[in-house]
């Protein structure tokens, strides 16, 4: 089964906003066994929208649109679909009640444009919107389906996850697919593929493997289409056990989990606390740690020691160390970590100092040189990294590697 995704909006075409909706829709369609044939973006023009839908329906079983359902004059999707399906726009009582309820919840007044949004094509199945004023629409034609949803991401996501996906699975009787995701860190994609080469060659023919890389991590997604869920799950679990034997030290979790989630779980389990001393990451590590609900139970705080003055006066880094070894050095980050333990009195400390770039590097310490230290009251371990010359990527990599170094430090996977 094939699907096309069409995003609508001049603001996307001119680069004013980034289309994240298509990525979300495509990922979720893949999970239920629907192959995305293409993703396109078109302008807010009725004829262009109608042509795009018509072209997609010639080769796709399912066409999903997002955008163009707002209350302003440039929103043309509803009119375009009404014309394409030879349908009339009529006021829908349920949609109008949803709009009234939503407007009231925002302490706003109902206006004519809001009421106009209650008009939907009479040949569509209405998909009610619990988070906005634009209803979704479901059209059927020659055993094919066109779905239109609002562009506002949180409205679209809720509608798609809680309503549209179930309608798609019910209408098309999609196959049962099991996905399992393994989260890895600290190993380049090419090296990971090389290590897993023999394992991958011997995978069950019904299991497919996808590498999903990002600067911080590489996700390995194993998928299997099946009739018997129990048997298929056993097959996946068997292969995952083999993965742990090959790259166990690089696996930090399974499923949709992030390093900061794992760190939180470890600290809670051990009833320990954490603090961070950050220079080149500028507080990004603490931002990630505190993005997890309940992090106040284990995270004590952070000192962004961007200047040498702060490193000295607050963290107690020796002026001699800074003068002789420099701010980006093993000695400095270890003194930062140990000083932080005294200042904040946490069980663990992370300290980071580096040259994020794009300037500031030398032959001895090029841009991308990062030193990270982790410590408790008994020992301190530090490690040097060389990430490259992209500032934003360096900050992201330094943050993730710092958390992973702490994970391995706590679990006893590294020694001095």
Contact status, residue 6 vs residue 65, Cβ threshold 8 Å: yes
At residue 82, the pLDDT reads 97
What residues contact 251, with CB distance under 8 A and at least 6 apart? 182, 183, 184, 243, 244
* Residue with token string 């394992």: 199
Contact status, residue 87 vs residue 121, Cβ threshold 8 Å: yes
Which contacts of 96-103 are long-range, i.e. CB under 8 A and separated by 24 or more positions?
A: 98/128, 98/129, 98/130, 98/133, 98/135, 99/133, 102/129, 102/131, 102/132, 102/133, 103/133
Three-class SS of residue 131?
coil
At residue 227, the pLDDT reads 78
Contact status, residue 36 vs residue 23, Cβ threshold 8 Å: no
Model confidence at 42, pLDDT cuts 50, 70, 90, reads very high
Q: Smallest Cα–Cα separation from 289: which of 408, 392, 410, 407?
A: 407
At residue 367, the pLDDT reads 95
Locate 23 and state its tokens.
């990525």
Inter-helix orientation angle 46-57/77-84, to 10°: 50
Host H or E run for residue 338: helix 330-344
What residues contact 313, with CB distance under 8 A and at least 6 apart? none
Model confidence at 416, pLDDT cuts 50, 70, 90, reads low
Delimiting residues of CATH 3.90.950.20 domain(s) in the chain: 259-411
Delimiting residues of CATH 3.40.980.10 domain(s) in the chain: 2-172
- In angstroms, rounded to a whole number, what is the distance separating the alpha carbons of residues 267 and 130? 37
Locate 387 and state its tokens.
């990430």
Locate 220 and state its tokens.
């390995």
Give the CATH superfamily of 259-411: CinA-like (3.90.950.20)
Q: What is the mean pLDDT of residues 81-87?
A: 97
Contact status, residue 81 vs residue 53, Cβ threshold 8 Å: yes
- Burial class for 379, CB neighbours closer than 10 Å (0-12, 13-18, 19+): exposed
Contact status, residue 152 vs residue 15, Cβ threshold 8 Å: no
Question: Tens digits of per-residue pLDDT, 203-246?
Answer: 988 899 999 999 999 999 999 988 788 999 999 999 999 999 99
- In angstroms, rounded to a whole number, what is the distance separating the alpha carbons of residues 300 and 372? 19
At residue 415, the pLDDT reads 59
Question: Tens digits of per-residue pLDDT, 160-196?
Answer: 999 999 999 999 988 888 999 999 999 999 999 999 9
Three-class SS of residue 252?
strand
At residue 334, the pLDDT reads 98
Domain 2-172, CATH class in plain words: alpha beta
Question: Tens digits of per-residue pLDDT, 293-349?
Answer: 999 999 999 999 999 999 999 999 999 999 999 999 999 999 999 999 999 999 999
Contact status, residue 48 vs residue 42, Cβ threshold 8 Å: yes
- In angstroms, rounded to a whole number, what is the distance separating the alpha carbons of residues 149 and 62? 14
Give CATH for domain 177-254: 3.30.70.2860
At residue 175, the pLDDT reads 83
Would you say residue 4 has pLDDT above 60? Answer: yes
Delimiting residues of CATH 3.30.70.2860 domain(s) in the chain: 177-254
Would you say residue 134 has pLDDT above 90? Answer: yes
pTM of the model: 0.78
* Greatest mean pLDDT among 71-80, 99-108, 315-324: 315-324
Contact status, residue 384 vs residue 338, Cβ threshold 8 Å: no
Mean confidence (pLDDT) of the chain: 95
- In angstroms, rounded to a whole number, what is the distance separating the alpha carbons of residues 402 and 348? 12
Quick count: other Cβ atoms within 10 Å of Cβ 337? 26
Q: Is the dihedral of CA 191, 193, 196, 201 positive or negative?
A: negative
Locate 33 and state its tokens.
């066994």
* Residue with token string 């619990």: 130
Locate 237 and state its tokens.
């679990």
Locate 299 and state its tokens.
């995270």
């Amino acid at each position: 089964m094939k699907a096309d995704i069409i995003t609508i909006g001049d603001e996307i075409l001119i680069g004013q906003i980034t289309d994240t909706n298509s990525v979300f829709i495509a990922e979720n369609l893949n999970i239920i066994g629907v192959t995305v044939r293409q993703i396109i973006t078109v302008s807010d023009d009725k004829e262009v929208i109608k042509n795009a839908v018509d072209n997609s329906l010639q080769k796709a079983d399912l066409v999903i649109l997002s955008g163009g359902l707002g209350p302003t004059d440039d929103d043309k999707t509803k009119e375009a679909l009404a014309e394409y399906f030879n349908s009339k726009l009529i006021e829908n009582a349920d949609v109008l009640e949803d709009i009234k309820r939503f407007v009231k919840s925002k302490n706003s007044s109902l206006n004519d444009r809001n009421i106009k949004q209650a008009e939907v094509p009479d040949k569509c199945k209405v998909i009610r919107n619990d988070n906005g004023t634009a209803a979704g629409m479901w059209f059927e034609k020659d055993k094919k389906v066109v779905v239109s949803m609002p562009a506002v991401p949180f409205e679209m996501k809720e509608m798609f996850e809680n309503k549209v996906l179930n309608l798609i699975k019910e209408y098309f009787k999609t196959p049962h697919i099991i996905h399992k995701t393994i989260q890895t860190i600290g190993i380049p994609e090419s090296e990971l593929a090389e290590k897993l080469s023999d394992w991958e060659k011997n995978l069950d023919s019904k299991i497919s493997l996808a590498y999903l890389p990002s600067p911080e991590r590489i996700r390995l997604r194993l998928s299997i289409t099946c009739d018997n869920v129990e048997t298929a799950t056993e097959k996946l679990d068997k292969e995952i056990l083999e993965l742990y034997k090959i790259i166990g030290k690089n696996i930090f979790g399974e499923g949709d989990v992030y390093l900061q989630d794992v760190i939180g779980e470890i600290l809670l389990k051990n009833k320990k606390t954490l603090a961070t001393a950050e220079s080149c990451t500028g507080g990004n590590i603490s931002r990630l740690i505190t993005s997890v609900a309940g992090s106040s139970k284990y995270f004590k705080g952070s000192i962004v020691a961007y200047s040498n003055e702060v490193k000295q006066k607050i963290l107690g880094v020796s002026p001699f160390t800074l003068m002789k070894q420099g701010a980006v050095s093993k000695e400095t980050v270890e003194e930062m970590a140990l000083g932080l333990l005294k200042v904040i009195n946490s069980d663990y400390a992370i300290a980071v100092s580096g040259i994020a770039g794009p300037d500031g590097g030398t032959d001895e310490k090029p841009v991308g040189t990062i030193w990270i230290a982790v410590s408790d009251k008994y020992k301190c371990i530090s490690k040097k990294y060389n990430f490259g010359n992209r500032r934003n990527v360096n900050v992201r990599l330094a943050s993730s590697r710092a958390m992973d170094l702490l994970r391995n430090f706590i679990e006893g996977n590294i020694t001095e």
